[in-house]
Amino acid sequence: QSGKFTYDPGFMSTASCQSAITYIDGDKGELLYRGYPIEQLAVQCDFLETCYLLLNGELPNKQQKDTFTNTVTRHTMVHEQMQFFFRGFRRDAHPMSVLVGTVGALASFYHDSLDINDPAQREISAIRLIAKMPTLVAMAYKYSIGQPFVYPRNDLSYSANFMRMMFGNPCEEYKVNDVLVRALDRILILHADHEQNASTSTVRLAGSSGANPFACIAAGIACLWGPAHGGANEAALNMLKEIGTPENIPDFIAKVKDKNSGVKLMGFGHRVYKNFDPRAKLMRETCYEVLNELGLQNDPLFALAMQLEKIALEDDYFVSRKLYPNVDFYSGIVQSALGIPVSLFTGIFAMARTIGWIAQWNEMIADPEQKIGRPRQLYIGAPRRDVPSIDKR
Ligand code: SDX
C-alpha cells in the first residue's frame, strides 16, 4: 500500500477529523492499522506489538519490543488503595459500571502524568492505561464472584497475565495454555482500534477539552457499553442462547424482518462495513481453533452461529441491506469457550480498545492545531417572544 488514499469531497465533508492510525474501506471490507492489513497483524504479531504500532506509528524491532513489553509489564499493578473502590459496588454490579468508575479514579493516583501538553506524560499515561486495564477487568471479575484479587506477575505475557488474574487463585497455580492465550491475544488485536467509532469519537471529544486521559478513557468505556456498540457481543451470545436450536432459526429470522418487533440480528450489520467485517472471518477462525483445542468443536452454539450466518447470507433481506457478520458475532462464543463470563465480554472489548482510544487521543493532543470539539445542531424548535406568567400557562 504505497502512497496516499484519496477520498471523494462528499466523504471529506462528513469526516469528523483526520487521522493516520486506522483505515477502513467499508465496501471492500478492508481494515488497516497504520497501513498494515489486520489479516497479517492478527497472525504475525502479538497484542503489545500492535499497541506499539498504533501508538508510535511503526512496528517495534526486537529491542524496542522488549523495552516496551518490559515497561508495560512493570505497570500492571494498580495502587493498593484501588481495591477499596471495588468494595463500594454491589457484587452483581455490571463490570462496565465498575470499569467506568475505577478507570476514572486512576486519575487521582497519577498527578505526575496529567499534564497532557508534555509528550512524556502522555506516553506514561498510555503505558499505565494499557498495563492496568487487564488488572482492573480481572479485579472486577474476581470481586463479582467473591474471590480474592490475583496480583499480576512480571514473568508472564500480557494475555497470560490476564488469564491468570482471571482464573488463578491462591489455592492452586493457574496453568497457562498457550493456544488459549494466543486466542485472547488475537481477540485483543482484532478489537484494538476501529477509526472514529462512537466510543473513540467520545474519547476524542472529551480529550479536546483538555480533560485528563484517564477521565477520557472512562468516557469511552461508558459509550462502548451500549448494545448497539460494544455491548453487541454480549447481546449476540444471548441471542444465540434464545434461539437455542437450528429449528428455531426461521421463526427468529421472521421476527427480525418484522420491523415492529424491534428485534435485530445482533452481531450483524455495521455503520461502515457494507461487506464482510474482516475481523469477523478472523474471529470465526480463532473460535474454531479454541473449540478444537478444548475438544468442543461440536459446540452447539458455534454450530448454531454458523447455521444462522449461512441462512442470513442467503436471505435477500440481509443481503439487500448489506448486513454481514461483524466482529461481535463470533467473539461471544470464543470468549465463552475461554471461560469469560458474558457480563465481561464488553469489558474485554474495552481492555482491547484502550490502545485505540489512547493512540487516537494522543494523536489529537499532539496536533498543535487541535481545538475543543464543538458539534453544531439543526434547531427544530420555534422561537417564542413573551414568557407567560404562571397563572397564564
Ligand atoms: C461495533 O463503528 C464501529 O466501528 C463499531 C465497531 C468497532 O469496532 O468500534 O465495529 C464495533 O459496534 C460493531 C457493531 C455491533 N452492533 C451490533 O452488532 C448490533 C446489531 N447491529 C445493528 O444495531 C446495526 O447494524 C448497527 C447499529 C451496527 C448499524 O445500524 P444502521 O446504521 O442503522 O445500519 P444500516 O443503516 O446499515 O441499516 C440498513 C437497514 C435498516 O433497515 P431499513 O431501514 O433499510 O429497512 O438494515 C437494518 C436497519 O434497520 N439493520 C438490521 C440490522 N442492522 C441494520 N436489521 C436487522 N438486524 C441488524 N443487525
Please choose, from the candidates 189, 233, 161, the residue with its C-alpha nearest in 3D space to the C-alpha of residue 45.
Answer: 189
pLDDT band at 111 (very low <50, low <70, confident <90, very high): confident
| Secondary structure in 3-state letters for 264-280 | CCCCECCCCCCCCCHHH
- Three-state DSSP state, 154: coil
Catalytic annotation present for 270: yes
**Ligand 1 atom closest to Cα of residue 322:** 37
**Rounded distance, CA 332 to CA 323, Å?**
19
Catalytic pick among 94, 194, 270, 299: 270
> pLDDT by residue (tens digit) across 124-155?
999 999 999 999 999 999 999 999 999 999 99
Please state the φ and ψ torsions of residue 33, each to the nearest 5 degrees.
-105, 115
- CA 273 to centroid of ligand 1, rounded, Å: 9
Active site residue 229: no
Contact 30, 277 (CB under 8 A): no
Pocket of ligand 1 (CB under 6 A): 194, 197, 228-229, 232, 256, 264-272, 321, 323, 326-328
Distance CA 366, CA 123 (A): 11
Under 8 Å between Cβ of 214 and 107: yes
Q: Can you give the length of the chain in residues?
A: 393
Q: Separation of 50 CA from ligand 1 center, angstroms? A: 27
Q: What is the pLDDT of residue 66?
A: 98
3 state SS of 245: coil
Q: How far is the CA of 324 from the centre of ligand 1 (A)?
A: 9
For residue 4, pLDDT over 90 is answered with no
pLDDT mean over 74-85: 97
Nearest-10 crossing angle of helices 158-167, 119-145: 30
Residue nearest to atom 39 of ligand 1 (CA): 321
Q: Quick one: pLDDT band at residue 3, thresholds 50, 70, 90?
A: low
Average pLDDT rounded to a whole number, residues 5-24: 82
* Ligand 1 atom closest to the CA of 236, numbered from 1: 18
Q: How far is the CA of 206 from the centre of ligand 1 (A)?
A: 25
| Confidence class for position 1, pLDDT limits 50, 70, 90 | very low
- Give the model confidence (pLDDT) of 293-347 as tens digits: 999 988 899 999 999 999 999 999 999 999 999 989 999 899 999 999 998 999 9
The pLDDT tens digits of the residues spanning 90-103 come to 999 999 999 999 99
Burial class from Cβ neighbours inside 10 Å (0-12, 13-18, 19+) for residue 56 reads middle
Mutate to test the pocket of ligand 1, among 197, 233, 258, 268 (most ligand atoms within 8 A of CB): 268
269 Cα nearest atom in ligand 1: 25
Q: Which residue, 203, 24, 208, 22, is CA-closest to 126?
A: 203
Instruction: Looking at the CA of residue 270, tell me the nearest atom of ligand 1.
Output: 28
Calculate how far, in angstroms, residue 274's C-alpha sits from the geometric centre of ligand 1.
10
The whole-number pLDDT of residue 275 equals 86
pLDDT-derived band at 248 (thresholds 50, 70, 90) equals very high
How close is the Cα of 180 to the center of ligand 1, in Å? 30
- List the one residue out of 140, 147, 326 whose CA is nearest residue 231: 326
Weakest-pLDDT range from 10-24, 117-131, 235-249, 348-362: 10-24
Nearest CA to ligand 1 atom 2: 197
CB-based burial, 229-252: b 16+ in 10 Å, e otherwise: bbbbbbbbbebbeebeeeeebeeb
Q: How confident is the model at residue 13 (pLDDT cuts 50, 70, 90)?
A: low
Mean pLDDT to the nearest integer, 76-101: 96
ipTM: 0.92
pLDDT at residue number 113: 87
Best of 19, 22, 229, 252 for a ligand 1 pocket test (most atoms within 8 Å of beta carbon): 229
- Output the average pLDDT for the chain: 94
Ligand 1 atom closest to the CA of 329, numbered from 1? 18
Pull the grid cell for residue 249: 432459526
Residues 6+ apart with CB under 8 A from 102: 82, 85, 86, 136, 139, 140
Contacts of 66-75 with C-beta under 8 Å, sequence gap 24+, read: 69/158, 71/127, 72/48, 72/127, 72/130, 72/131, 72/158, 73/131, 73/152, 73/154, 73/158, 73/161, 74/131, 74/154, 75/127, 75/128, 75/131, 75/132
Name the residue with the closest Cα to ligand 1, atom 20: 266
Q: What is the mean pLDDT of the segment spanning 161-184?
A: 96
